[in-house]
A and B are shown apart, each in its own frame.
Chain A
Amino acid sequence: MKKFINDPADVVAEALAGLAAAHPELRVDVTGQYVARAGAPRPGKVALVSGGGSGHEPLHGGFVGPGMLDAACPGEVFTSPVPDQIVAATKAVDGGAGVVHIVKNYTGDVMNFQLAAELAADEGITVETVLVDDDVAVENSTWTAGRRGTGATLLVEKIAGALAEEGAKLGEVAAAGREVNAASASFAYALTACTTPAAGRPGFDLPDDEIEAGVGIHGEPGRRREKLRPARELVRSALDAILEAKPLNPGDRTLVLVNGLGATPLLEQYLVFGEVATVLAERGVQISRRLVGNYVTSLDMAGLSITVARLTDEMIRLWDAPVRTPGLRWGV
């Protein structure tokens, strides 16, 4: 393992200390392990709190700021935060109008946020939870834990965040988040495994000529392993899965996120975006908004995810609203 670390046990705390040093506009509580906006809470504003394992930067700490999250709680690497942390973050940003928890559908995240929401309720804070489960690589059936939450988390945080900024009520903000999730579908490929600092070796073995299709964002193996194919074919397979789950009609407007998982250069990400644009154009689907880059990563994993969301006028308006965070910034 070659990494810029001191001690694997200190990685998250030291990264938070670094985030604080780099972004004086954030309030970073290294002991409580959460990141909040400076100036929070804002009375009367619905607060957005998200969190999950570390290792997905800029998700979530990098999305704290005006127009997006009020606080984020990063857990240990690839491990959901603990309830204490989530409650501390929730209390730190509650402005009396309630708090929306944005939770990716992973068992640990769901359980810890659920415990935290119950504890927050005991303290008189109303919490609404938006569960993100956009990853169509995982079959949705009665016997699985459902679909995983991946790239669409960014869209939910941005759009619900913009609505909260305008002064919408708790139920409206949560409903907007759920609507974005329902409109989104994602699929990811890994070319390599990633290495968590604590484990010190790659999470799985992948021969040079093979890839994992349908990989999640924690370095966990995907659904199937296959031979590497040209990007054009991989994109078509991914979009087949995405459009099967969330069909689009000619004329539909979409947001496309091509998201690097950590070690895939922008050169390849743009190439893939071009392939996505070609396929969607063939189907008469419009790309109204787009984003290419490393936003929901998996440490040093080479690979990328494709997210397609069908947009409404309101979603476009909220997507375009100003945002000022370390990881996403425009209009300000």
Chain B
Amino acid sequence: MDATHLDVALAVAWLRAAAASVTAETDQLTRLDAAIGDGDHGVNLARGFTAVAATLDGAGFAAVGDVFVRAGATLISKVGGASGPLYGTAFRAVGKALPPGAASADLADLAAALHAGLDAVRKLGGAEPGDKTIVDAFRPALDAFEEAVAGGAALPEVAASAARAAGEGARATVPLTARKGRASYLGERSAGHQDPGATSTWLIFQALADVTAP
């Protein structure tokens, strides 16, 4: 593996690993969501990512950005709920921000694309850091990603660092009171539970760390 670029094969491997992880953690995500939402986050994401994995089969992408655009479109059309539009829009934004037509992206390109993904989620969901949402894992992951890239790290180290930060961000949602999404209807009773969206974001970043690990 080229440790300085994300190419089509690696992007596909990342999304397949994310699909496997979300599927394996369906019950866990559902339990987290049942505590503060309606308990469908795991099932819905697993359905979406399974469809993503299927659509990647033999698709023969020429550009790495197309992999994410296709994944995003699939999530939007299969998941429903809030997580479908949010993750779908994020992946589409990532794909569209990658250099058009390029078969691979370097780490600076990838960081910029992830940034576009986070911006898209924040725009659609209106969430700020601390609202107990996807953003609470996504933003620290991106910060760690950018910092590692700026420090000259290679992809495995960058990805591991982002995954670690996403995990910390997800765990840090436990004491927070939700202010967005369905959990916000619970008010203070949402405190004491880890946010399911932040948790699935962590799984997705962890999947990149797993497929790039030396």
Convert B166-184 into 0s and 1s, putting 1 for each residue whose CB lies closer than 8 angstroms to a CB of A.
Answer: 0000000000000111101
Residues of B near A82 (CB, < 8 A) are: 76-80, 84
A203 x B34 contact (CB < 8 A): yes
Residues of A near B86 (CB, < 8 A) are: 111
Known: A76-B40, A115-B76, A198-B40. A216 touches B81 (CB 8 A): no
Cα–Cα distance between A20 and B124 once the two chains are bound (Å): 36
Q: Say if the beta carbon of B129 comes within 8 Å of chain A.
A: no
Task: Categorize the interface residue count of chain A.
Answer: 35 or more
A107 x B181 contact (CB < 8 A): yes
Known: A76-B44, A138-B185. A108 touches B76 (CB 8 A): no
**CB of B69, distance to nearest CB on chain A (Å):** 15
A108 x B81 contact (CB < 8 A): yes
A221 x B189 contact (CB < 8 A): yes
State which residues 211-263 of A face B: CB under 8 Å. Answer: 216, 218-221, 223-224
Q: Say if the beta carbon of A106 comes within 8 Å of chain B.
A: yes
Known: A199-B30, A199-B34. A220 touches B43 (CB 8 A): no
State which residues 76-120 of A face B: CB under 8 Å. Answer: 76-84, 106-108, 111-112, 115
Convert B120-137 into 0s and 1s, putting 1 for each residue whose CB lies closer than 8 angstroms to a CB of A.
Answer: 000011000000000000
Selected interface stretch from A58-66, A142-150, A284-292: A142-150
Residues of B near A320 (CB, < 8 A) are: none
Instruction: Among B34, B44, B180, B189, find the residue whose CB has the most chain A CB atoms closer than 10 A.
Output: B34
Known: A82-B76, A143-B179, A223-B187. A111 touches B40 (CB 8 A): no
Partner pick for A112 among B85, B185, B189, CB 8 A cutoff: B85
B126 nearest CB neighbor, chain A only: A145
Partner pick for B185 among A80, A83, A145, A196, CB 8 A cutoff: A145
Q: Say if the beta carbon of B37 comes within 8 Å of chain A.
A: yes
A79 x B81 contact (CB < 8 A): yes
Residues of B near A79 (CB, < 8 A) are: 40, 44, 79-81
A219 x B81 contact (CB < 8 A): no
Q: Say if the beta carbon of B38 comes within 8 Å of chain A.
A: yes
B78 nearest CB neighbor, chain A only: A82
A76 x B80 contact (CB < 8 A): yes
A75 x B80 contact (CB < 8 A): yes
A115 nearest CB neighbor, chain B only: B85
Residues of B near A220 (CB, < 8 A) are: 36-38, 182, 185-186
Q: Say if the beta carbon of A166 comes within 8 Å of chain B.
A: no
Residues of B near A108 (CB, < 8 A) are: 80-85, 182
Convert B141-167 into 0s and 1s, putting 1 for each residue whose CB lies closer than 8 angstroms to a CB of A.
Answer: 000000000000000000000000000
B76 x A219 contact (CB < 8 A): no
Cα–Cα distance between A145 and B35 once the two chains are bound (Å): 18
**CB of A262, distance to nearest CB on chain B (Å):** 14
Q: Say if the beta carbon of A268 comes within 8 Å of chain B.
A: no
Convert B24-65 into 0s and 1s, putting 1 for each residue whose CB lies closer than 8 angstroms to a CB of A.
Answer: 000000100011111110011001000000000000000000
**CB of B93, distance to nearest CB on chain A (Å):** 14
Cα–Cα distance between A216 and B47 once the two chains are bound (Å): 24
B128 nearest CB neighbor, chain A only: A143
**CB of A33, distance to nearest CB on chain B (Å):** 10
Known: A138-B185, A143-B179, A144-B185. A198 touches B43 (CB 8 A): yes
A218 x B77 contact (CB < 8 A): no
Residues of A near B184 (CB, < 8 A) are: 143-145
Q: Say if the beta carbon of A139 comes within 8 Å of chain B.
A: yes
Residues of B near A75 (CB, < 8 A) are: 80-81
**CB of A194, distance to nearest CB on chain B (Å):** 10
A83 x B44 contact (CB < 8 A): no
B80 x A203 contact (CB < 8 A): no
Known: A82-B79, A82-B80. A199 touches B43 (CB 8 A): yes
Partner pick for A204 among B34, B44, B84, CB 8 A cutoff: B34
**CB of B186, distance to nearest CB on chain A (Å):** 6
**CB of A249, distance to nearest CB on chain B (Å):** 30
B79 nearest CB neighbor, chain A only: A82
Known: A108-B85, A112-B85, A196-B39. A216 touches B185 (CB 8 A): yes
Cα–Cα distance between A76 and B37 once the two chains are bound (Å): 16
**CB of B21, distance to nearest CB on chain A (Å):** 19
**Which of B's residues lie within 8 Å of A, judged by CB?**
30, 34-40, 43-44, 47, 76-86, 124-125, 179-182, 184-187, 189
Q: Which 7 interchain pairs have the tightest Cβ spacing? A: A108-B81, A108-B82, A218-B38, A111-B85, A79-B80, A198-B43, A107-B82
Q: List 30 A-B contacts (CB under 8 A).
A: A76-B40, A76-B44, A76-B80, A77-B40, A80-B82, A82-B80, A82-B84, A83-B76, A83-B77, A83-B85, A106-B182, A107-B180, A108-B83, A112-B80, A115-B85, A143-B184, A144-B184, A145-B181, A145-B182, A196-B40, A199-B30, A203-B38, A216-B38, A219-B39, A220-B36, A220-B38, A221-B36, A221-B189, A223-B187, A224-B189
**Which of A's residues lie within 8 Å of B, judged by CB?**
53, 75-84, 106-108, 111-112, 115, 138-139, 143-145, 148, 196, 198-199, 203-204, 216, 218-221, 223-224
